[in-house]
Structure 1
Amino acid sequence: MPAGSDTDVPALSVSPGPAGGLARLGGWCARHPVLIMAAWVLALTAALAGRHVVAPAFSDQVSLSGTQSSAGADLLAAHSGTAGGSSGHVVFHSDSGAVTSDPSVSSSLSGLAHLPHVTSVSAPVVSDDGHTAYTTVRFDVKAKALGHDYTRRLDRATQPARDSRLEVAYGGDLDQVTRQPADDRASELVGIAAALLVLLLAFGSVLAALLPLVSALIAVGTGLGLVGMVAGTVSFATSAPTLATMIGLGVGIDYGLFLTTRFRQDLIDGHDPASAATRTTASSGRAVLVAGVTVIVAMLGLYACGLSFIGKLGFAASLAVAITATAAVTLVPAALSLTGRRIDRLALRRPIAESSGDRDGWHRYAARIARRPWRYLAAGTAALALLSVPALSMRLGHVDASADPTGTTSRTAYDLIAEATGPGFGPGANSPLTVVIDLGTHRSGTSDLATTLQRALRTTPDVAQVTTPTSTPDGRLLTTTVTPAHGPQDESTTALVNTLVDDTLPGALHGTTAHGYVTGTTAAQVDFRDTVRQRLPVIIATVLAAAFLLLMTVFRSLLIPLKAVLLNLATTAASYGVLTAVFQWGWGSGLLGLHEPVPIESYVPMMMFAIVFGLSMDYEIFLLSRIADIWHTSADNTRSVGTGLAATGRVISSAALIMTAVFLSFTSSTTVVVKMLALGLAVSVILDATLVRLVLVPSSMFLLGRANWWLPDRLDRRLPHLHA
């Protein structure tokens, strides 16, 4: 088969300096394969050992400085000796008989009071039927700081109640202690198995299929070790390792697939294995590096939101992508050179070409689009628009313990409190709000102000109960607890927090120098949601600008990057729509193990946008670089698009199928946020590889014709020269 045939993986050619550097790197790795592979095994071992030594701690604690809930929490910490930490519920339940009549409850309460960091244990709140009771345990530190081992202390303290056959469960902030990090090893194994199956179908050879997979696993393992080591000094979220695994595994296998495809083609063209590995690194390796940098830039762009919690998630994923891209241009060439022509020895079928010429199916498909581009463009756009409709009603929020798996202690505690009747029970008891009044100079008439405040709070819609306002020991603050009528993730609870902050408290404190705040876990989650929603446009603008500049520089065009940006926005909107329909509307959510609709976790759309944009730009670069190659030699728009589709269709489809399989495997995670990200990313990849790459890109390029490649001369002279 002649060189440059349609099985070539599209490559992004850069100026001679970087190209020469990659060629030399690939050649050196190809000549010293054993040394390179040993170095990577050593790196993997060192990274995993380092993670074990560092013993990383992951935390979902979010800093919201500047918000009203944070201000209220700071006031409590400064003026109350017991309010600066956190609190949790310990629930006792009996199917028959009054719980509090059992002496084991008193023994358990005494045991809880003597635990480290416990500042107080409240008298039990008892349900009307007496079968359920719970106590509020307050700590002098944040619950997450107690560590997962603290669960054993809780169990020992409450053992008397268990010995009396009472059911004991922990809720509130204690779910941060009792909830172990999700074990997604089963999801990873499913994803790996699915990826291997796709690779076998794509290559038809066992060795060719295993090589990208094994190299990706080594890279991801090294990346996870590095993430764990960094977590010793940088506090990552608990979902960071799963996110890093999901992204790293997907892109790692894809990069290995692109390189292995090009290597096999070079062997077919008559090059020896070492030379083929060198050529592969010098050509496809450049595309892999540009693709990896694109993903990293998009992920690091999350820092633009100003929330370190989200920025660090992007940082963790970026570390994994950086390691997999490095492995792609070092480990993969070494393994390819060592494997050599044996790569097809364990073949399940004969290798087949991507295209059989200008009259193959891909070219015929492109010709059909060229004859009716408006029809295909309209159909593809309508499909994306239809999928995007549910996104118009997307509701951001926080997924509470009611969505936890049945049988977990956090879910049991939530249900026992929500289902019991009586003062202090009901769904809203799981989302108490602490109202803090900074009296300022208003020290006289405090009792009258407390009465006015309590009356205003009780008459606010969706308030189930209000405790009597009390003063802090120094007399500077008034505090009271408001119990909403509904649970933490209910939309009415979010509305209640906003009503209290915007209307109730200002009205009750009108004419005084006092200031009111609503704080606590639920209020902080509402503030977090509002902050994310306000800053999402900043993330979108940052990522769009970076992508536009990159594509404009690479392809020397204004319309190509504009089209890419618009299509990626459409893909993201459609993915948001599917996410809303499944999780918020409940369409098919039972298949994901959810028993009720839930809001979209606040930061998921922001994370999805950065990841989806980075991954979709990979495929955009691979496809358009091939189209640009043909255009610059033939100036035939129809042939350029047809050949570009033929050259990239199979490898991009295989890569997308692998990525989709990896992402979908993580929908079996017990963490709802991971399910959301996994489904959203899988849908995005599917849409990007089908509607966008196969319908909207070619139809729009046919319609634009020569205008695709227009760039003002003045701008052309100012841009650095990278050649597609």
Structure 2
Amino acid sequence: MNTQSAAGPGLLHRSGRWCARHAWRVIAVWVLLLVGLGLANHTWGGSFADSFSLPGTSTQTGADLLKAHTSGSGGTAAPIVITSDGGPVTGHREAIDAAVANLGRLPDVLSVADPLTTPGAVSADGGTAQMTVRFSSNPATFDPSYLTEVDAAVQPLRADHVTVEYGAPLGELATPKSADHTSEAIGLAVAVLVLLIGFGSVAATGLPLLTAVLGLAVSLAGLGLLAGHFGFGQASPTLAAMMGLGVGIDYALFLATRYRALLHAGAEPSEAVGHTVATSGRAVLVAAATVAMALGGLCVSGVGFIATLGVAAGLSVVVAAAATVTLTPALLGLLGRRIDRLHVRTPVAEPTGEADVWHRWAVRVSRRPWLFLVSGLLLLGVLSLPLASLQLGHVDAGAQSTSRTDRRAYDLITEGFGPGANGPLTVVVHLDSRQVADPALRQDLATSLRRSLAAVPGVASVTPPAPSPDQVLLITTVTPDTGPQDRATTDLIHTLQDDTVPQALSGTGATGYVTGTAAATQTFTDTLSAKLPLIIGVVVCAAFLLLLTVFRSPLVALKAAVLNLFSIAAAYGVVVAVFQWGWGGALFGVTEKVPVESYVPMMMFAIVFGLSMDYEVFLLSRIRETWLRSGDNHLAVATGLAATARVITCAALIMTSVFLAFLLSTNVAVKMLALGLGVSVVIDATVVRLLLVPASMYLFGRANWWLPAWLDRLLPHLDPEGPAAAPAAAPASSPDLSSDALPDSSSTSPSGSRRDSPSDSPSAPDLAPSRGDRR
């Protein structure tokens, strides 16, 4: 029996109807929320900065020892590179002394190393020098106006015809921050165009955009407020904007589409809104929960930096879903039947039946399912091939555009001191009590350590190990032959950490650590590489259980998880080919081959897996809806594909444009994420949705919906689009097989029996059928 109809409308139906009937109250709440969070963020909000610290690791222990036993080693160091326009830099002593003194008086500056008195700070040819400035915190988080003070401090150098460039992270302050806003504007412009073409109505176009933008503004204000109390990476607001804008438009679009179809079927507006929230709104909540769950899986990594990126993206998704099921119904209630007003073309309902092009495509796939399945898998396999050569690392200033000062500083250091000088390694030796008390023992250890380090292939130079002021440490700097992003440097770091330093100190009672920025980023990369399989396992298992609960089919849930892994591998392959192999990287502002940023694969997996499940939920819910009332697997697949084709295609175009627009970002890691996410959406909306899903479901037939009785009893009932009360005034004589049509409640169930109806009036299908129906 359709118990929902007998008991009255459900919670989602009632909440949607209430939002439609009290629209201005709902809008006022969202506006107040935005203003309140905006003011709080302005007052108590924080900044965003990358932190790759990993407590408990050898690299972090070495850094902590340096900070505890040496003066001037705290804070964050950044080089200011100078080169003379003619002659050696030593000929500009007065200008250098003035600049060093000026820099030392700036706020947040702890120390400034005079290049003319610091060993190794002047290149062998005398043409280039480095002034190492140590700041109280990461200068990349300072207000850009701080750079004006730095410019004034080094003005004596420039007046003396000396070129000055700021190395990272100080140089990041000089990078324009407007690219992300440009990306957002481009994404919105494309969304407007797609929605106008797809739906023809200015009102229907503006509604998803307004919901998404308001939801995004709220989430960014909340994120800024959280950043005042927790450390969030630089990419956090950009990632939140990408996710919030993309899913926000998509989710609101699904609700607006269902609402329009119900109006065309003759439903009363407020009841149509209630039914829309109870059906498509429920699917949105399931989809958002899947994305948030995948992003939440990043916390399993145990790395705070990664967890906060996942929190930033997950927050924007949750806020987008909340806006969709509250603000969108309110706006629909205000528009009522005027949703098709101000149209640029005559709005039409979703075509259905055999005349629909997508229905005909589904029929074509059903005739040769093996051919389409194998073709789709081969295509994904080819795209995945570059993945075999994946190299993880940290993308530093050397990969940035030459228009940036930190890139020019990087190049000057390479030319003057060698490529390894951009990523020197610091070896810290913690002495035992005998060596601390006996200078002779300490000197013998220093001599043998330097000899062992210099003998390692790939080492360009080793400074004499020097004791710390309290004689507790020996400190030496190792300069590699190669740059920080080279695989040879990675191998050298591992050799020093695992073999050279332990062997050189064996039996001495001293303990050694390899630290420094290059070593820290490599440790970070190694940690993430080791955690990635765990993340994949947790997210896949959680998604499988969620889909199993929603669709009550082990085969459907397993197929969805496996196909998503194929599409993610293909997206990985494209990222490797473009950035690591350099195939077209210059088109995206990356002028050389770079490793894939260490956290990009983990972030991509969580986001792509979640977003892929979005479309999977919307498509499969329509397929299952038809299956429950017809028992015909072929009809269900064809009808589900046809009913969701236009809205998913529009949603995919919008989300792809939003992601790809962020290729304009100045952050290379953001470029990688943008390309990977954009490609994955295209793959999911075409290869997976048009080839693999229908072909596999045709091949499995009725097995798609098999569920063991014991498992049926264990699983809770959670349907993505029901049960929900029918909207008032929906005509009973509209046997439309589209997802937006309301089937007669007494339609034949898959088991061949007819479900009871409490009355002769039409009602929404009970999507939680009997166990016999589900089997």
Scaled by the length of structure 1, the TM-score of the pair is: 0.94
What SS does the corresponding residue of 2:512 show, helix, strand or coil?
strand
Residue 709, structure 1, aligned to residue 692, structure 2: no
Unaligned runs of 5+ in 1: 1-12
Aligned mate of 1:523, from 519, 524, 531: 519
Aligned mate of 1:292, from 288, 293, 302: 288
Determine the structure 2 residue equivalent to 1:514.
Answer: 510
Residue 414, structure 1, aligned to residue 410, structure 2: yes
Determine the structure 1 residue equivalent to 2:646.
Answer: 650
What SS does the corresponding residue of 1:370 show, helix, strand or coil?
helix
- 1:607-628: per-residue Cα shift (whole Å, max 9, x none)? 0111111111111111111111
C-alpha displacement of 1:301: 1.4
- 1:492-531: per-residue Cα shift (whole Å, max 9, x none)? 1111111111121122122221121110111000000000
Determine the structure 2 residue equivalent to 1:64.
Answer: 54
Determine the structure 2 residue equivalent to 1:375.
Answer: 371
Determine the structure 2 residue equivalent to 1:76.
Answer: 66
Residue 51, structure 1, aligned to residue 54, structure 2: no
Letter aligned with residue 605 of structure 1: P
Unaligned runs of 5+ in 2: 721-775
Letter aligned with residue 62 of structure 1: F
Tell whether the 8 Å contact from 1:441 to 1:514 is kept in structure 2 after alignment. no
Aligned mate of 1:535, from 531, 534, 537: 531
Residue 204, structure 1, aligned to residue 200, structure 2: yes
Determine the structure 2 residue equivalent to 1:497.
Answer: 493
Between the aligned partners of 1:523 and 1:120, the Cα distance in structure 2 is 23
User: Cα gap change, 1:207/1:276 in structure 2, threshold over 3 Å: closer, same or farther?
Assistant: same
Residue 99, structure 1, aligned to residue 89, structure 2: yes
Aligned mate of 1:589, from 554, 562, 585: 585
Determine the structure 1 residue equivalent to 2:469.
Answer: 473
- 1:251-310: per-residue Cα shift (whole Å, max 9, x none)? 000011101111111110112222222221121111111111111111111111001111
Tell whether the 8 Å contact from 1:301 to 1:539 is kept in structure 2 after alignment. yes
- 1:170-195: per-residue Cα shift (whole Å, max 9, x none)? 21553466657564111111111011
Residue 123, structure 1, aligned to residue 115, structure 2: yes
Aligned mate of 1:429, from 416, 421, 442: 421
Which stretch has the larger CA shift, 379-388 or 438-447?
438-447
Tell whether the 8 Å contact from 1:373 to 1:703 is kept in structure 2 after alignment. yes
Between the aligned partners of 1:100 and 1:670, the Cα distance in structure 2 is 35
Between the aligned partners of 1:19 and 1:84, the Cα distance in structure 2 is 62
User: Cα gap change, 1:86/1:216 in structure 2, threshold over 3 Å: closer, same or farther?
Assistant: closer
Tell whether the 8 Å contact from 1:401 to 1:411 is kept in structure 2 after alignment. yes
Between the aligned partners of 1:427 and 1:19, the Cα distance in structure 2 is 69
Between the aligned partners of 2:399 and 2:4, the Cα distance in structure 1 is 50
C-alpha displacement of 1:359: 4.7
Residue 88, structure 1, aligned to residue 84, structure 2: no
User: Cα gap change, 1:172/1:366 in structure 2, threshold over 3 Å: closer, same or farther?
Assistant: closer
Which stretch has the larger CA shift, 555-564 or 504-513?
504-513
Aligned mate of 2:431, from 414, 439, 453: 439
Give me the CA root mean square deviation. Answer: 2.0
Aligned mate of 1:612, from 591, 597, 608: 608
Determine the structure 2 residue equivalent to 1:268.
Answer: 264
Determine the structure 1 residue equivalent to 2:381.
Answer: 385
Between the aligned partners of 2:680 and 2:495, the Cα distance in structure 1 is 36
Residue 238, structure 1, aligned to residue 229, structure 2: no
Determine the structure 2 residue equivalent to 1:626.
Answer: 622
Between the aligned partners of 1:149 and 1:201, the Cα distance in structure 2 is 44
Equivalent residue runs for 1:210-359 within 5 Å: 210-359=206-355
Between the aligned partners of 2:53 and 2:172, the Cα distance in structure 1 is 16
C-alpha displacement of 1:142: 5.4
User: Cα gap change, 1:57/1:14 in structure 2, threshold over 3 Å: closer, same or farther?
Assistant: farther
Letter aligned with residue 370 of structure 2: W
Determine the structure 1 residue equivalent to 2:726.
Answer: none
Between the aligned partners of 2:340 and 2:715, the Cα distance in structure 1 is 44
Between the aligned partners of 2:6 and 2:443, the Cα distance in structure 1 is 79
Tell whether the 8 Å contact from 2:390 to 2:576 is kept in structure 1 after alignment. yes
C-alpha displacement of 1:489: 1.4
User: Cα gap change, 1:93/1:291 in structure 2, threshold over 3 Å: closer, same or farther?
Assistant: same
What SS does the corresponding residue of 2:346 show, helix, strand or coil?
coil
C-alpha displacement of 1:711: 1.8
Between the aligned partners of 2:251 and 2:462, the Cα distance in structure 1 is 58
User: Cα gap change, 1:74/1:686 in structure 2, threshold over 3 Å: closer, same or farther?
Assistant: same
Between the aligned partners of 1:57 and 1:18, the Cα distance in structure 2 is 49
Between the aligned partners of 2:169 and 2:511, the Cα distance in structure 1 is 27
User: Cα gap change, 1:174/1:481 in structure 2, threshold over 3 Å: closer, same or farther?
Assistant: farther
Residue 22, structure 1, aligned to residue 12, structure 2: yes
Residue 567, structure 1, aligned to residue 579, structure 2: no
Which stretch has the larger CA shift, 38-47 or 481-490?
38-47
C-alpha displacement of 1:107: 1.4
Which stretch has the larger CA shift, 574-583 or 646-655?
646-655
C-alpha displacement of 1:324: 1.2
- 1:415-468: per-residue Cα shift (whole Å, max 9, x none)? 111122xxxx11111111111111224515221211111111112111111111
Between the aligned partners of 2:4 and 2:461, the Cα distance in structure 1 is 67
What SS does the corresponding residue of 2:167 show, helix, strand or coil?
strand
C-alpha displacement of 1:23: 1.2
Residue 191, structure 1, aligned to residue 187, structure 2: yes
What SS does the corresponding residue of 1:97 show, helix, strand or coil?
coil
Tell whether the 8 Å contact from 2:264 to 2:349 is kept in structure 1 after alignment. no
Tell whether the 8 Å contact from 2:216 to 2:319 is kept in structure 1 after alignment. yes
Tell whether the 8 Å contact from 2:627 to 2:636 is kept in structure 1 after alignment. yes
Letter aligned with residue 439 of structure 1: L
Between the aligned partners of 1:623 and 1:412, the Cα distance in structure 2 is 50
Between the aligned partners of 1:16 and 1:609, the Cα distance in structure 2 is 44
Tell whether the 8 Å contact from 2:174 to 2:404 is kept in structure 1 after alignment. no
Aligned mate of 1:32, from 15, 18, 22: 22
C-alpha displacement of 1:361: 2.4
Between the aligned partners of 2:4 and 2:313, the Cα distance in structure 1 is 26
Tell whether the 8 Å contact from 1:204 to 1:348 is kept in structure 2 after alignment. yes
Determine the structure 1 residue equivalent to 2:99.
Answer: 108
Aligned residues with identical type, % of pairs:
54
Between the aligned partners of 1:139 and 1:225, the Cα distance in structure 2 is 28
Determine the structure 1 residue equivalent to 2:670.
Answer: 674
- 1:227-253: per-residue Cα shift (whole Å, max 9, x none)? 111111122111111111110000000
Between the aligned partners of 1:80 and 1:145, the Cα distance in structure 2 is 25
Which stretch has the larger CA shift, 160-169 or 475-484?
160-169
C-alpha displacement of 1:18: 12
Tell whether the 8 Å contact from 1:557 to 1:710 is kept in structure 2 after alignment. yes
C-alpha displacement of 1:94: 2.3
Between the aligned partners of 1:131 and 1:468, the Cα distance in structure 2 is 24
Determine the structure 2 residue equivalent to 1:718.
Answer: 714
Letter aligned with residue 527 of structure 2: T
Q: Once superposed, which parts of structure 1, at least 4 consecutive aligned residues long, lie more than 6 Å away?
A: 13-19
Between the aligned partners of 1:18 and 1:523, the Cα distance in structure 2 is 63
Determine the structure 1 residue equivalent to 2:546.
Answer: 550
